[in-house]
Amino acid sequence: MSRGDKLLPVWIEAEHAAAANPDTQQILAAMRRRAHIDFMSTENLPLVPTFIPGPLSSAFNHPYASGGSRWSRLYYYIYSRISSRIATIWTLREMAKYRSWPPMHPPLSTRTAVMDGLFLGSTSEKRWLADVRRAVLQVYTKLGEAVAMGDRNAIRKLAGGEYAKTSLGRVPGQGVKYAWRIDRQVKPVKCLSWRAIPYDVEHQEMPEPGAEVNGFLIQAVFRFDTIQSLQPTTLRGPANPVPPTHVVEYLILEKRNWLPLEGWKIVGQTKPGVWIGSEVAMKQIWPDRPQKKEKEKA
| Residue 291 placed within a domain | no
| Residue 256 placed within a domain | yes
Contact 135, 264 (CB under 8 A): yes
pLDDT in tens, 149-159: 889 999 999 99
| Residue 295 placed within a domain | no
281: domain CATH number?
3.10.450.240
Banded pLDDT at 103 (limits 50, 70, 90)? very low
pLDDT in tens, 49-94: 677 766 666 666 655 555 556 676 677 777 777 777 777 877 777 7
| Residue 290 placed within a domain | no
Domain count, the chain: 1
Distances (CA, A) of 14 to 8, 24, 79, 90, 164: 10, 12, 13, 12, 39
| Residue 133 placed within a domain | yes
| CA distance linking residue 197 with residue 35, whole number of Å | 6
| Residue 11 placed within a domain | yes
Banded pLDDT at 204 (limits 50, 70, 90)? low
The range of the structural domain enclosing residue 73 comes to: 3-285
| Residue 72 placed within a domain | yes
